Structure 1
Amino acid sequence: MCGRLNIINTSLCKIVSDTIGLNFHSESNDNLSPSELLSTIVQSNEHVSQVNMQWGIQPSWSKRLLINAQSETVAIKPTFAKAFVAHRCLIPISGWYEWRKEGSKKQKYYFSHSQNLPLYMAGVSYHKFNTPPQVVTLTTKPNQLCEQYHHRMPVFILPDSINAWLAPQNSQANLSRLMSAIPDEYISVTTS
């Protein structure tokens, strides 16, 4: 699910900067893959900042890179629970890709904001001594539009809920309501 991202282009960085209240900058990449760097937004105390993080973690028990965590279990699974409580973040993106089998071929689809605005993907970050920070994105059950293409979709935080998502002291109950699928009307789907 969602193993390729279209990272925010220069024209959308100003919208992110104005929305978040910081000077956000991201290198454009229309096919960002796991293990590459993502520009993320984090909050510590009252201060919001940008941190570049590697997409994915590889716990000692896993043979593969973990890039996503399910929103339904992120607060209780040992791999993600501490990061969920203490290190929630946002990844501004222009869109993401999914593939759907159609006949004998796979068709690539591009998902973006219906009004050409940034999407704020929810994530949790990991900070270890002497290693670059890492991030895992969150997924949820899809809305009606997206479920035609995949059984999961990214968790997106709407602009009016950004402060609630990033606030370190926010309770799990308050956060749970933010982790469901955004309505269909926010999403546009095109073939890629």
Structure 2
Amino acid sequence: MCARFSISSPLDMLRTLFSFSPDFHFSPSYNIAPGSQVPIIRKDIATGEAVVSNAQWGLIPGWSGTSKPRSNLINARLETIDIKPSFKHAFAGQRCLIPCTGYYEWKTDSLGEKQPYLIFSASNPLFFLAGLWDTGSAPQEHDLDCCTIVTTEATGTPAEIHSRMPLTVTRDYFTEWLGGMDRTSVPSPSYRETFSYYPVHKKVGNVRNNTADLIEKINLDEQPSQGSLF
């Protein structure tokens, strides 16, 4: 699964690919956790143009009658995305891209302790996760745009850390993913990122920590023991 990631690049990198209002703001964040506001790129339902907006990470299906995200809807498994009631509607017409500069996974070491790693694109400092979005609402409450990250079976380098990985979309496949309605528009491996990784400090496990040093490579020999994921 993907339960923590970073967006450390300035918005100028997004502006080279998409146009959006100067009123839109998103500060670098090095430890994005479920429930956080994140930027997403989606097709505007009225115009069909790609737009950039903020959404809360944790999908709330529009039919659920609530504005509270469920923690188990931060990820959507690609294998069942078109049949699960929580995701199939969004998969058929409400897809998005979620910018990312790296995501974190934990691996249990030989001493039984969980060591975090930053996994990042081998070729693009800013890459894009495949996502779904929806608008949850409840009586007498404001509508709330929300999103989830699509995950798939890990292959290549990430498989050394975890059995799952985010589905990614390369820049030459944005239109197909955002406009797709079924599995024929799921990017093949040739339209996905390849990854590298390195170990990072265990303090990334505390969601209150959100500083630039979280994404720095560490020497495992200097890593303190007994880190906590949350």
TM range (shorter): 0.7 to 0.9
Alignment of 1:1-192 (within 5 A): 1-10=1-10, 13-22=11-20, 26-44=26-44, 45-57=47-59, 64-65=70-71, 66-103=73-110, 104-129=112-137, 130-167=142-179, 170-176=180-186, 178=187, 186-192=194-200
Q: What residue ranges of structure 2 are gaps of 5+ in the alignment?
A: 201-230
Alpha-carbon deviation of 1:46? 2.6
1:37-90 C-alpha deviation (Å, 9 max, x unpaired)? 011011124311111011003576xx9512000011111111100011121001
Secondary structure of the structure 1 residue equivalent to 2:17: helix
Greater strand percent: which structure? 1
Alpha-carbon deviation of 1:135? 0.4
Secondary structure of the structure 2 residue equivalent to 1:86: coil
C-alpha separation in 1, matches of 2:30 and 2:124: 15
In structure 2, relative to structure 1, the CA distance for the partners of 1:158 and 1:175 (3 Å cut) is same
In structure 2, relative to structure 1, the CA distance for the partners of 1:83 and 1:179 (3 Å cut) is farther
Secondary structure of the structure 1 residue equivalent to 2:15: helix
C-alpha separation in 2, matches of 1:179 and 1:73: 17
Alpha-carbon deviation of 1:171? 4.1
Provide the residue aligned with 2:223 in structure 1: none
Please tell me whether the aligned partners of residues 138 and 154 of structure 1 are also in contact (alpha carbons under 8 angstroms): yes
* Structure number with larger C-alpha Rg: 2
In structure 2, relative to structure 1, the CA distance for the partners of 1:5 and 1:119 (3 Å cut) is same
Supply the AA of the counterpart residue of 1:3. A
Alpha-carbon deviation of 1:127? 1.0
Supply the AA of the counterpart residue of 1:46. G
Supply the AA of the counterpart residue of 1:165. W
Moved beyond 4 Å, runs of 4+: 21-25, 179-184
TM-score by length of structure 1 reads 0.86
1:133-163 C-alpha deviation (Å, 9 max, x unpaired)? 1101100011121111101000000100001
In structure 2, relative to structure 1, the CA distance for the partners of 1:148 and 1:106 (3 Å cut) is same
Sequence identity of aligned pairs in percent?
29
Supply the AA of the counterpart residue of 1:68. N
C-alpha separation in 2, matches of 1:164 and 1:17: 20
Q: CA RMSD in A?
A: 2.4
TM-score by length of structure 2 reads 0.72
Alpha-carbon deviation of 1:22? 4.2
Alpha-carbon deviation of 1:180? 5.3
Alpha-carbon deviation of 1:26? 2.8
C-alpha separation in 1, matches of 2:13 and 2:129: 15
Q: What residue ranges of structure 1 are gaps of 5+ in the alignment?
A: none
